[in-house]
Amino acid sequence: MAGAVQTATSHKALEAVRLSRRSQGETKMLTAKFWIDHNGGTVRLKIRSGQTVSHSYGGRTDEGYSYTGESYSFDGQTVTCEWGTDASDCDGRIQHGGEAYCDVAELAAGYAEDGIAFPAWQHGEYSQRDHSAEAAGY
């Protein structure tokens, strides 16, 4: 499905919830701390309000290459993750990308693994591009 964009939860809906909470007197936090999976290992991120932290990893594989990049930002109430992958193997090149959002109250409310609780991400926009499928006319 080349160039398809799917939306699970819109950013506008999340913004409406955030504005409602602020009008009810919720205060902004100065720092968000949460766990992520980075290149097969567990890493704890600490982000200050207004800060963005980015990382990437990848390289050559036995059939081509695979790269992943993620960027986390924090506005005092919501952590936003923008991510993308770019890979190529014997079937051709494929790219994925998307956004996810997590309210600070949900940073340890997602799935748990080995006693570590991960964020309960709300997924936003998602895209996929399959270069081989495009070349074949799909």
Per-residue 3-state assignment (H helix, E strand, C coil) for the chain = CCCEEEECCCHHHHHHHHHHHHHCCCCCCCEEEEEEEECCEEEEEEEECCCEEEEEEEEECCCCEEEEEEEEEECCCEEEEEEEEEEEECCEEEEEEEEEEEEHHHCCCCCEECCEECCCCEEEEEEEEEHHHHHCCC
10-39 pLDDT per residue, tens: 445 455 445 545 555 555 789 999 999 998
79 strand-pairing partners? 74, 102
Q: Which tens digit of pLDDT belongs to each residue from 98-136? A: 999 999 999 999 999 999 999 999 999 999 999 998 998
Number of neighbouring beta carbons within 10 Å of residue 118? 18
Total domains present in the chain: 1
57-77 mean pLDDT: 96
Tell me, what's the pLDDT at 19? 52
Which residues make Cβ contacts (< 8 Å) with residue 108, sequence separation at least 6? 34, 35, 117, 118, 119
Phi, then psi, of 19 in degrees rounded to 5: -65, -40
pTM: 0.76
From residue 10, how far is each of 13, 38, 40 by CA, in Å? 5, 26, 29
pLDDT reported for residue 40: 87
pLDDT value at position 82? 98
As a whole-number percent, the residues of the chain with pLDDT over 90 amount to 70
Confidence check: pLDDT of 90 > 50: yes
Domain that includes residue 14, residue range? 4-135
Q: For position 32, what pLDDT does the model report?
A: 96
